[in-house]
Structure 1
Amino acid sequence: MPEKTRISPLQLGMMMYLATTPTAILTAPTITYIFAKQDLWISPIWAFSGLIAVYVALRLHNMYPGLNISQASERIVTRLLGKIIGIMFSFFYLYLNGIIVREYGEFVVGAFLLNTPLIVVSGSMVLVCAITVRGGVEIVGRFSELLLPVFIAFFLLIIVPIIPDLRFSNMLPIMGEGIRPSIEGAFVLQTWFAELITVSFFLPYVADQRKAKTSISITFLIIILTLVVSNLSTLLLLGDLTGSFTYPFLILARYIDLAEFLTHLESLYMAIWVLGAFVKICVFFYVAVLVTSQWMNLSDYRPLVFPLGFLLVLLSMWVAPNFQELTHAIATSVTLSVLTMFVIVPWLLFCMAWVRNRLLSWR
């Protein structure tokens, strides 16, 4: 059953921001520092995969209005191959969402709820997200609109108090070994930027299509700015210790001490992570359910929500034996698979669609 509800261009931008930024803030500084060292704050600027993902999503939507990339693929590469690509997107979004749920569970259990079983934390989040997804895309959009100001406020409450303690000498020498380290550090970040291809699945539901391009372009730039600020503040405070912490941005929150009154603000960081993870899991969960229902030619996607939710919880337990293995996978195999599914496959589809339309126009 096609969605009858609509979201605004602003809600689309907010959804994509919250579906990208919070998880990048969680682990990206540590992984990026391994390659880029003091240039880790430059790495988010090399957002090549995000640029390609946004461009392809917008161009394909112009070529095939009202269709997402999965549906458009059936017109580009025949119905059979399009169905294969569609189920690949469905399973991949479910798999990637399992990694996100596992990251969320590991963080909450490892940093706060030490005696709580991981499956309880992960299962409760998936249940809440499943209820939200059943409400439709408009509910997800409204949640994003409600939670983004809170996210920004908490983010600033962590950054602003530590400004007097930042040591700018930690970022020197800038590009001391050339541009290569910052580009190598950007390789892992391409995982998060490539996820912007997800906008393709929500563009058909945007009420004002003319403003959607502007909204997602501005969102893309704000995501880069946010990652530059978070990486830079982490580097300027922690210096060479940045790569030693699993959650370096959490250390910033714990560092805050204003007149021995405002201290131990790690709860703000947990709020940032929970709010962001909630929206991201909802967005990816919705895409997985939507594409699966379209692949099966169902009239309503809602009956699939809870069965796929149960599978999502199981996947979150299966994706890695422990958090260390998960972090290593994110920096290696997951990055390559994300770039393949979210950048290479869409780009090839766009190129074939462009050639196909050119040939038709010449006839």
Structure 2
Amino acid sequence: MEKGKISSLQMAVMMYPTIVATAILSVPSITGKYAKTDLWLSPILASLIGYVTVYIAYKLHQLYPKQTVIQFSEHIIGRFAGKIIGFLILFFYIQGTGQITRAYAEFIVDSFLVNTPISVIMASMIFLSALVVRGGLEGLGRAAELFLPMFIFPILLLIILVSTDLEFKNIFPLLEDGITPPTKGAIVPGAWFTEFFLITFLLPFLADRKKGMKYGMMTVFAVMMTLVVVNLVVLFVLGPATSSRVYPLMQIARYISIADFFEHMESVVMAIWIVGAFVKISVFYYAATLGTAQWLNLSDYRPIVWPLGILTVSFGFWSLPNTMELARYNIGAFPPFGLLIQTMIPLFLLVIAVIGKRNRKRVDSS
């Protein structure tokens, strides 16, 4: 079905913007509401879920090296139950692709293209992603490699430009109310870290499979450090006002003014958002398309790329009416849903698979 091969490094390059893209704009505000001045600790605590998720995904991959979760779930718990699990996972990723596309479009409309219909922005992004997905995994990996510098450089540029305005005293007091507030602030970012389970759709196609866990763990660390740095920069610039901003990074970009030349750097944030959202949507889109084809026992996933694209736009357009509902979904519904689908169910499958393997060894030895 998928003939292409990617390296472990390409997998890491694909997963980094997939996690960071949506988190980088809203995480400072969300964590700030709970953790306040300790918001920089929340990504560190949240990353623990990412490490566990990567470990689970890789261990399942070791047991079923040539299969994705849609395929090996049927081997672990039976065809009927496996189909149900596969449907839940696919529904999550198809709906999630629509939700991510809607979030991308809402940001663009609210901040820049205020008179452009949101459906046009969503459809254009899905169209571009569909072209990459139809090109196969190798094309997606190369696109991620190409766009990674365009994603990282604007972040570094923003940090450099605001470096003279950082108020380091904003970090105090440290842990004034104990570890509980940062832990509460880690719940929503933790849901983004569960998205590392997407590697289950990439690991079977690695040219160097033995390095899969190593690069997966390294990517979790890179994402964690990025969110820590962004949270600190936002805290040092905005202070207590961080939690009241919907997109704190955008506020920082508007705050920049150096020698009446570097001003209103909103376009930098827009570049981060567009590039990161493109990679993230494409990875989700690919996982949903490949998984659906495997669930339906098709010989090729390319014929269903366009129908799934239409379904994705429909999900994104009708399920979340505005930015406020999107924020409520990210805070209220997404964390438990993401943890269940991308960490708890895979953990259940891993436990059943390990127990089943041990029982088979005992039977064979007897």
Say yes or no: TM over 0.5: yes
1: CA distance between counterparts of 2:140 and 2:285? 11
Other-structure match for 2:200: 200
2: CA distance between counterparts of 1:9 and 1:321? 38
Other-structure match for 1:6: 5
Other-structure match for 2:157: 157
2: CA distance between counterparts of 1:319 and 1:30? 23
Other-structure match for 1:210: 210
1: CA distance between counterparts of 2:4 and 2:75? 25
1:134-213, aligned counterparts within 5 Å? Answer: 134-213=134-213
2: CA distance between counterparts of 1:156 and 1:257? 16
1:70-105 residue CA offsets vs partner (Å, 9 max, x unmatched): 211111101111111112111110111111001000
- Following TM superposition, the consecutive aligned residue runs of length 4 or more in structure 1 with deviations greater than 3 angstroms are none
Please tell me the root mean square deviation across aligned C-alpha atoms, in Å.
Answer: 0.9
Other-structure match for 2:16: 17
Contact 1:319 1:326 in 2 (8 A): no
Other-structure match for 1:52: 52
Counterpart of 2:32, as a letter, is Y
Contact 1:87 1:291 in 2 (8 A): no
Contact 1:195 1:342 in 2 (8 A): yes
Shift of 1:48: 2.8
1:269-284, aligned counterparts within 5 Å? Answer: 269-284=269-284
1:254-293, aligned counterparts within 5 Å? Answer: 254-293=254-293
Other-structure match for 2:242: 242
1: CA distance between counterparts of 2:243 and 2:213? 37
1:274-353, aligned counterparts within 5 Å? Answer: 274-353=274-353
Other-structure match for 1:80: 80
Counterpart of 1:20, as a letter, is I
2: CA distance between counterparts of 1:116 and 1:21? 26
1:157-189 residue CA offsets vs partner (Å, 9 max, x unmatched): 001111121111111111110011000000011
2: CA distance between counterparts of 1:49 and 1:319? 27
2: CA distance between counterparts of 1:295 and 1:212? 24
Contact 2:55 2:213 in 1 (8 A): no
Contact 2:51 2:217 in 1 (8 A): no
Other-structure match for 1:357: 357
**TM-score normalised by structure 1 residue count:** 0.98
2: CA distance between counterparts of 1:173 and 1:341? 37
2: CA distance between counterparts of 1:37 and 1:335? 20
Other-structure match for 2:100: 100
Counterpart of 2:201, as a letter, is F
**TM-score normalised by structure 2 residue count:** 0.97
Structure 1 residues without counterparts, runs of 5 or longer: none
2: CA distance between counterparts of 1:326 and 1:297? 34
Counterpart of 1:348, as a letter, is F
1:92-136 residue CA offsets vs partner (Å, 9 max, x unmatched): 101111110010000000000010011011111011111111111
SS of the residue 2:289 aligns to: helix
Shift of 1:333: 1.1
Contact 1:191 1:335 in 2 (8 A): yes
